[in-house]
Amino acid sequence: MSRSTEGRSISATRRMSSTLVNAESKVPGIATTPMRMAQTIRTASRWVQAGAAPSVPHYRRSTLMARPGLVIQFKTKPDTAEQFSDILVAALEHVEAEAGTRPWLTLRAEQDPTVFYLVDLFDDEDARNIHLNGAAAELILGTGGALLAEQPSPVPVTLVIGKAV
């Protein structure tokens, strides 16, 4: 017979703690026992110390990280927002011809429909320069420039990590 702890046997206490962990575990096979939980924590700690995220394979992190990008805010005059939106739609054709620009997104603020955001990611710095001197930029800043209430606010960025980019 097992030793007793507060009226329960040690084996019963182990079974009960294992059951509690199993009930809380949302992923089958992960931390189903106290020993497995400790092993999972040690493994995750090693991944963090090594600089690798457990959910993203190392080879994908290296291809996703350090991609140059651009986020630009545009503020249009209240009566020209729809025209500017049409110019952004027309610019997509030019961007699709650029091999090194992906993704290219235009967003419109829900709280202020005169505010637009353009988000680009590029394969490298050369692709960003080609894009900034390309037909899409000329269309947006040239034709669309007269529709703006203020100068665009470009912010060069670098991708840290993303999904489906």
For 66-83, the DSSP string reads T-EEEEEEEEB-GGGHHH
Please compute Rg for the chain using Cα positions: 27
pLDDT of residue 129: 94
Which of 74, 102, 106, 103 shows the shortest CA–CA distance to 90?
106
State the Cα angle at 50 between 45 and 51, rounded to 5°: 100
- What is the predicted pLDDT for the residue at 161? 84
The confidence score (pLDDT) of residue 36 equals 60
Determine the pLDDT at residue 139: 97
pLDDT of residue 2: 47
Q: Report residue 92 as tokens.
A: 């997509």
Domains of the chain (ranges, CATH numbers): 4-55 (no CATH), 63-158 (3.30.70.100)
Q: pLDDT 10s per residue in the chain (165 long)?
A: 445 445 544 554 444 444 444 444 444 444 445 666 556 566 665 655 665 554 545 444 445 467 999 999 999 999 999 999 999 999 999 999 999 998 999 999 999 999 999 999 999 999 999 999 999 999 999 999 999 999 999 999 999 888 877
What value, to the nearest 5°, has the Cα angle with vertex 44 and ends 41 and 50?
A: 140
